[in-house]
Amino acid sequence: MDGPCRLRPATAADARVIAALERRVFSDPWSADSIRETIGMPWMFTQVAEDAVGELVGYVFCREVAGESELLNLAVDPVLRREGVGGTLLSAALVWLTARGAHETFLEVRASNAAAIALYERAGFRAVGRRPDYYQRPVEDAILYRRPGNGPA
């Protein structure tokens, strides 16, 4: 395995493990059923990251429709943060989006999530707006980011 993890396409069988990671990482997690449904959509990029022993340690979900794309979720096991897993997932997503013809990518991030903001800004995303009270548990603003073009981060 080169790098901090090995990527592979997510499968419906991963939904339960992804949902468990969601509960550890996000205060308003997606359900296993929502995750399973998302994995089956043809316009979605759903990849998981595995460590050297095959344990799921992260995932990314994004979509492309008619040249626009959105990063929906990117999560890394808290124990493995700052090890390059998030950057590897984000780069893979941006490569896929470019291949699909996406001209720009958007995402929202909690205003307090400094680590995610740093990752996205290193990858070329720039803040373009704010959504007051977007997140509900706890209530917090979202910062809207845009990255023109795509390609590797």
Active-site residue identified among 59, 64, 120, 145: 120
Write out the H or E segment, with its range, that includes residue 76.
strand 68-76
**Most distant CA atoms of the chain, gap in Å:** 42
**Beta carbons of 46 and 92 less than 8 angstroms apart:** no
Active site residue 140: no
Measured between alpha carbons, how far is 130 from 49 in angstroms, rounded to an integer? 30
The burial class, CB within 10 Å (0-12 / 13-18 / 19+), for 19 is: middle
Active-site residue identified among 59, 108, 135, 145: 108
Active site residue 108: yes
Catalytic residues: 108, 120
